[in-house]
Amino acid sequence: MESPKSHEYDEYQSFVFHPHNVLLFLLLFGISMLFLSLTAAFVYNRVQSDLPPLRLPWIFLLNTLILIGGSATMIRAKKAYLQDDTLGYQKMLSWTLLLSLLFLAAQAVGWWQLFQQNIFLHSDNSAAYLYVLSGLHFAHVLAGLPFLLAFLRTARRHMKEPVSVLVYFSDPEKKLKLRLLTIYWHFLDGLWIYLVIFFVVNAVVGK
């Protein structure tokens, strides 16, 4: 005979309806609508003003690989967490943090390359949209760093002895939040790929 507890609602296992998940969904939906609106406005303004195509600096493509690497390390961090792999979990979180910081530094270099081409925010509408869209993505990566850093610091603080390690890995709330953070990182990766493809296609079509 099944225990009554087997039918109880588990807020951590019922991921879809958890308040944290709902908030994340609303956040990602809002961000998606913002970027879709801006890219649609870019196309409209470019067609209306007959603006010349805008070529992306090569480092924007390199940044795509950096973000993909960050998503890969987040996947491995989650896998290490599920396997109770203390060192692997901390290592993968550290790599994700380093790759994210590398992305931000490389993005600053990408803007500097645009400056070298005399492409500034006020040059024309195409340049303005490029700076705004890449700047917004930069801001969202930056906003995620404190959460990633908090995970890493908490892991290092509590993973020092067998008992604290057991408590950490058995905490369903930490598991849920790690899953949410992983989804957010994958979303930023996909968003950047969309932006790069969008500007590359616009440059090719506009020739």
Residue 93's nearest CA partner among 73, 112, 79, 108 is 73
Domain ranges of the chain: 15-50+57-205
Measured CA to CA, the distance from residue 120 to residue 118 in angstroms comes to 6
pLDDT at residue 7 in the model:
43
Q: Which helix (H) or strand (E) holds 51?
A: none
Query: Mean pLDDT by 10-residue block, N- to C-terminus, for the chain (207 residues)?
Result: 44 61 91 95 86 83 94 93 88 95 95 89 82 95 93 81 71 84 94 94 74
In Å, what is the CA distance from 99 to each residue of 63, 70, 74, 118? 10, 6, 11, 29
- The encoded tokens of residue 195 equal 């932006």
pLDDT at residue 70 in the model:
94
| Residue in the block written with tokens 């879709």 | 36
Q: What is the pTM of this model?
A: 0.85
| Residue in the block written with tokens 């987040």 | 74
Residue 54: CB atoms within 10 Å: 21
To the question of domain 15-50+57-205 being in CATH 1.20.120.80, the answer is yes
- The encoded tokens of residue 201 equal 């296609």
